[in-house]
Amino acid sequence: MQRRNFLKSAVMGSAAALVGFPQFKAEAASKMKITKIRYYSAPGYNKPLFNQARGIVEIETDGGIIGIGEGGSKDMIEQCAQMMIGEDPFRIEHLWQYVYRGMFYPPGREKLHALGALEMALWDIKGKALGVPVYDLLGGATRDYVECYATGFKASKAKTEEERARDCIEAGLRAYRIGPTGGNGEEPFDFYDNVKKTIEFSKRIDAAVGGGGKWAIDLHTRFDMTDGLKICNGIENLEPYFVEDIVRSENPGVYKTVRSMTKVPIAVGEQFGDRWDINELIESRLIDYTRVTLPNTGGIGEFKKIAGLCETHYVGMIPHFTGPLSTAALVHTLGSSSPSRCLMELGGGEPERPAYFNEDFINFKNGKLYLNPSPGLGVKFDPKKATFVMEVTEKTKFPHPYLKSPDGAIHAW
């Protein structure tokens, strides 16, 4: 009862602002404060050096509401969390700007992963407090479900890749993604040989699924421009749904040349972070699909901003698959974004359902992911089934200075 009254007071406080009460201040938007932030490692995840971290974050408030997010490394979560203690969890954009801009150097991609995990948890808190799903907070549903494609297909008993691809399409997924031949890390990678083999492999997959853009290929940044373009031009007439990461990602501007030399649909961005990483490719219409994802962008709000850029320039969104909670968050985000074309990637052709989340946290059927109408992200976390790493309860002892404009907006120091 006490918690219910607290939440009612919080919501009524927000409502007061809407009807113009002059005494209302933005700083009291929820009347809640962040008191603790905990970090857990995901059991069984054995890629600690892979910078798509899979940790679970809990943000606890003095109103008894706990939000959950996913991503970030211990050190980055700790640094960002110390900047959030004592703050209002409803001021999501304000907190994002503070953590993003509150140090002298712009954040790198590893810090963005951590910020994305924490920001995800803030949206979960707000949805739970107001009793609505995150997609309602983001403007409401714009689609009934999100189409998916598979990288691998676990449900198939087939012995060949061609048969697995066929089984995938028959199960209702939109497309089957393949990679180039070779590149197992044990033998020298013969570029010339694997260009020819990759083109022939693509032809077999296309025939197996019946064409019609029911397959895609990721070149995994393995080829230089000459060989990457040979593959693109060799499969152009097959009309794949997209060709991903034709060249390495360090120099996005190189896609000005790539775009002028091939007509295949281009997808780039899984190694990128916020909008400043990807805006040149979108605004110059050098790609057809972004692969930016959660939590890598720095959070749900930042992903929505990138979605707006994409809508403006007629670029679709095909986020890279990350962790299970991020998959759930992506359904909320894509499900409330513009009706531009989008797809979600599922490793193995089905969403991951770890034991530390409730079984029904993700709604997947017939190759599609459906919106979850439960409050917040709709995911329940059992910390007893994960590994506790640390807890942050105090602000940093070294406050991060920043400038405020007269209206209170944050600027970099």
User: pLDDT tens digits, residue range 324-352?
Assistant: 999 999 999 999 998 889 999 999 999 99
Instruction: Judge if 66 and 119 occupy the same domain.
Output: yes
Instruction: Judge if 228 and 95 occupy the same domain.
Output: no
Residue 234 lies in a domain: yes
Q: What is the pTM of this model?
A: 0.91
Residue 377 lies in a domain: no
Structure tokens at 86: 């004592």
Instruction: Judge if 318 and 405 occupy the same domain.
Output: no
DSSP strands (E only) in 229-284: 243-244, 266-268
- The whole domain housing 46 covers 2-130+383-411
Instruction: Judge if 199 and 88 occupy the same domain.
Output: no
Spans of the chain, pLDDT less than 70: 1-29, 46-53, 185, 413
Residue 75 lies in a domain: yes
User: pLDDT tens digits, residue range 34-52?
Assistant: 999 999 998 877 664 455 6
CATH of residue 356: 3.20.20.120
Instruction: Judge if 123 and 150 occupy the same domain.
Output: no
Residue 24 lies in a domain: yes
Buried/exposed 251-285: b ≥16 CB within 10 Å, e otherwise: ebeebeebbeebebbbbbbbbbbbbebbeebbeee
CATH of residue 406: 3.30.390.10
- What's the pLDDT score for residue 400? 74
Distance CA 194, CA 176 (A): 20
Instruction: Judge if 182 and 58 occupy the same domain.
Output: no
Please give the tally of structural domains in the chain. 2
* Radius of gyration, alpha carbons of the chain: 22
Instruction: Judge if 52 and 186 occupy the same domain.
Output: no
